[in-house]
A and B are shown apart, each in its own frame.
Chain A
Amino acid sequence: MSDDNIFDVQNVTLRFGGVVSLNDVSLQQRRGEILAVIGPNGAGKTSLFNSLTGVYQPQEGSITFVGRDNKPLSIIGMKAHRVSAAGVARTFQASRMFSALTAFENVKIGAESHRGIGVIGAMVRGPHTRRGERESDERTVELLDFVGLRERANTISASLSYGDRRRLEIARGLATNPQVLLLDEPAAGTNPSEKLELTELIRKVRDERGVSILLIEHDMKLVMSLAERLYVLNFGGVIAQGTPEEIRANEAVIDAYLGSTAHETEERS
């Protein structure tokens, strides 16, 4: 195991009652890497994301995140907002915007969430509060520029196209100043040209901002062109890992995806 891992997941098992959602999953992500998790529906990809962000609490195993000051943190048992503060940002499968707010406000909420609360300051609008507002505004504009949504800043987020919503979610995630960005099916529901732009954007996030990327995606073309390494999940367990070339040639992966039913039933009986 190299020292430069940003995520180190060891033997994580997550159960809901009798249903095993993640079974002994181990995964390492290097700092600055674009890593993808693929697998058929119900393989446990989103459960893995939820475990990594503090939404679910796995019963067994350990998740270590190495944050800003190179101090390893154990994610299990941490609340979701603390995980965010530590430097893990995420997007959601069906994008979850604050739909009644504008694109600008959405990003700004991300940009200012890690400041102190300061109710009294907010009620009298003191100099400290005003400075904070200005800084958040500047940061928001910069991020909207970065994802290419500056012209849509004052649009209600619910009225943005799917592609724009994905970008907005990425901007909101980046606003929290993360070390790693978790993208849950960023290309779902987008058209081919939007897909291409998203691929570019994701690469740009890593290259220009140095944010590691962990993504779940069904679109094989996108995954294979973007990811440097992949993990394949099936029935809650890791069945393969490696570079795109290795995965493409992997028997178990082809089985899981193409569903060689004959082979499977044979194995079970």
Chain B
Amino acid sequence: MKDLWQNHHVRRLFSLIGALAVLAVMTGPSGSAADPTEGFRGSFMEHTSFLGLFTTNRWVLFVFFALVMWGVWSGWELRGGQIRQVVAHTLEMPKELSRRRPVRWGLLLALLLLALFLPHIISDPFWQAAMVEQIAVYVLLATGLNVVVGFAGLLDLGFVAFYAIGAYATAWVTGALPTAPPFHIHFSPFVAIPVAIGIAMLAGIVLGAPTLRLRGDYLAIVTLGFGEIITIFANNLYGITGGAEGTHPIPHPAIDLGPIHYDWGLKPVPYYYLTLIFVVIFLVAFTLLEHSRVGRAWTAIREDEVAAESVGINPLKYKVMAFAIGASTAGFAGVITASQSNNIFPSSFTLQFSINILVLVIFGGMGSIAGVVLGAIIIQTGSMYLLHTPPAGYQPQDLYIYLGALLIVMMIFRPVGVLPSRRRRREINLAEAGEGHMNEVLTGDTP
């Protein structure tokens, strides 16, 4: 009996049943003064519908959920052992890896086709708008922040500043600000793309060059301050930004080349394709960057700055570069948002927003491009779903309770994120095991 209890699969099953029993009570009916135990009894005995298939007692349902979770979890772990062996094997033989490459390309192609046809599959206008405003733009922002946080290991809490700079630069170039646009010409939002990227990048360099000498927490505080400064500027520089009332209408992008004429207009689907093109470009560029000299230098700095410097890497230069690349991605996202939503208001560029993007990166897996994209899609789709079809009693501001709980659970059970990068996972495992327990790390048997 005691041996059985030592088995962590058994212990896990009991913990899960316990946890779900608590959940059952929490979500069950409440008791009354006349019958105090009614709530408790009702939580387990009350009849409820099982996924609409048949009705059963609540406890059956919760035990069933516990068993399913246990099965997935323990099964994953047992299978994980085999997967790790395969990975170790392929590491020894790089040729094995290249044999699997067609599979990966096929998968990517399928995903791209799915992304292309998505607006035809989903016709609900709410979701079509959400796909652009809440998902595609956030994917872009998360991949940009991933360069800063994941690749270079710099904690940036003011990412929203660059997004705001991109959006306001668009407004400026198209003549939607009280300030005169450059050369007094009202350009198309397409012209704003290079301008906004350039200005955001410049802002990244100007902020980064003096502050990236700071380490860790100090940098986080400086970037936090920068984010606030930009918001306050946008709010109060009435003559330049239009203040809290927002900008004048920003024109929609349009192509006008003689016979070729296309106006993006109000519908979200054209913006979806426009964003998709750029998302793909950014993803490809960042993937190549990760596996280039620059990506390796970032990893080296992240792991041991002193050692990196001793082999001739200039940490400041690479950090500023990461900052500038992240900033220009956010700047581009700002162009999309500004040109699609017509008006921009300072109130949309809050600290909350920066943290939201950071959550996507941490949830998806810092440093892993695929992970961050997946994380952004999962969280944003989830929160949009809650907004679209709210469960009984759900208020929009409750979202952060759920996000917070999700993060806590993630940090306890899977601190590396949903789809971590190989390098990052090793780093976190090494850090958890301490440098002395290498064999455990490599076999994945960390406690």
Residues of chain A lying within 8 A (CB to CB) of residue B426: 99-100, 156, 158
Question: B312 contacts which of A99, A113, A133 (Cβ < 8 Å)?
Answer: A113
Give CA–CA (A173, B289) in the complex, Å.
24
Question: B309 contacts which of A84, A108, A124, A129 (Cβ < 8 Å)?
Answer: A84
Give CA–CA (A173, B309) in the complex, Å.
11
Residues of chain B lying within 8 A (CB to CB) of residue A98: 299-300, 303-304, 307-308
B306: interface (CB < 8 Å): yes
Give CA–CA (A124, B314) in the complex, Å.
23
Residue of B nearest to A55 (CB): B306
Residue of B nearest to A182 (CB): B310
Give CA–CA (A109, B310) in the complex, Å.
11
Question: A123 contacts which of B94, B289, B308, B439 (Cβ < 8 Å)?
Answer: B289
Residue of B nearest to A110 (CB): B311
Q: Are A124 and B285 in contact (CB under 8 A)?
A: yes
Q: Are A159 and B314 in contact (CB under 8 A)?
A: no
Q: Are A119 and B325 in contact (CB under 8 A)?
A: yes
The CB with the most chain B CB atoms within 10 A, among A100, A109, A118, A133, is that of A100
Q: How many residues of B contact A (CB 8 A)?
A: 41
Question: A109 contacts which of B289, B296, B321, B427 (Cβ < 8 Å)?
Answer: B296
Q: Are A105 and B296 in contact (CB under 8 A)?
A: yes
A67-92 CB mask vs B (1 if < 8 Å, else 0) is 00000000000011100110001101
Q: Are B292 and A122 in contact (CB under 8 A)?
A: yes
B378: interface (CB < 8 Å): no
Q: Are A119 and B321 in contact (CB under 8 A)?
A: yes
Residues of chain A lying within 8 A (CB to CB) of residue B292: 122-123, 125, 129, 133
B296-340 CB mask vs A (1 if < 8 Å, else 0) is 110110011011111111110110010001000000000000000
Helix, strand, loop or mixed for chain B's interface? helix
A180 to chain B: closest CB distance in Å? 13
Residue of B nearest to A104 (CB): B94
Residues of chain A lying within 8 A (CB to CB) of residue B304: 96-98
Q: Are B92 and A154 in contact (CB under 8 A)?
A: yes
Q: Are A97 and B307 in contact (CB under 8 A)?
A: yes
A20: interface (CB < 8 Å): no
A44 to chain B: closest CB distance in Å? 19
Q: Are A100 and B288 in contact (CB under 8 A)?
A: no
Give CA–CA (A155, B426) in the complex, Å.
12
Give CA–CA (A159, B91) in the complex, Å.
13
B351-395 CB mask vs A (1 if < 8 Å, else 0) is 000000000000000000000000000000000000000000000
The CB with the most chain A CB atoms within 10 A, among B94, B296, B315, B423, is that of B296
Residues of chain B lying within 8 A (CB to CB) of residue A55: 306, 309-310
Given A80-B309, A113-B311, A154-B91, residue A159 in contact with residue B442 (CB < 8 A): yes
A132: interface (CB < 8 Å): yes
Give CA–CA (A101, B303) in the complex, Å.
9
Residues of chain A lying within 8 A (CB to CB) of residue B289: 119, 122-123
Residue of A nearest to B295 (CB): A122
A51-63 CB mask vs B (1 if < 8 Å, else 0) is 0010100000000
Residues of chain A lying within 8 A (CB to CB) of residue B430: 99-100, 158
Q: Are B299 and A100 in contact (CB under 8 A)?
A: yes
Q: Are B293 and A84 in contact (CB under 8 A)?
A: no
Residues of chain A lying within 8 A (CB to CB) of residue B411: none
Given A92-B307, A113-B313, residue A101 in contact with residue B299 (CB < 8 A): yes
Question: B311 contacts which of A105, A109, A158 (Cβ < 8 Å)?
Answer: A109
Q: Are A119 and B313 in contact (CB under 8 A)?
A: no
Give CA–CA (A45, B295) in the complex, Å.
34
Give CA–CA (A105, B422) in the complex, Å.
13
Residues of chain A lying within 8 A (CB to CB) of residue B92: 154
A227 to chain B: closest CB distance in Å? 22
A–B complex contacts, Cβ < 8 Å, 17 sampled: A79-B309, A81-B312, A84-B309, A98-B304, A99-B303, A99-B426, A101-B296, A109-B300, A109-B313, A113-B312, A114-B312, A117-B321, A122-B288, A122-B289, A123-B292, A129-B292, A173-B310
- Closest 3 CB pairs between A and B? A122-B292, A84-B312, A100-B426
What residues make up the interface of A, taking CB atoms closer than 8 Å to B? 53, 55, 79-81, 84-85, 89-90, 92, 96-102, 105, 108-110, 112-115, 117-119, 122-125, 129, 132-133, 136, 154-156, 158-159, 172-173, 175-176
What residues make up the interface of B, taking CB atoms closer than 8 Å to A? 91-92, 94, 285-286, 288-289, 292-297, 299-300, 303-304, 306-315, 317-318, 321, 325, 423-424, 426-427, 430, 435, 438-439, 441-442
**Contacts beyond the supplied A80-B310, A156-B426: 6 A-B pairs with Cβ under 8 Å:** A97-B304, A99-B435, A100-B424, A109-B300, A123-B292, A154-B94
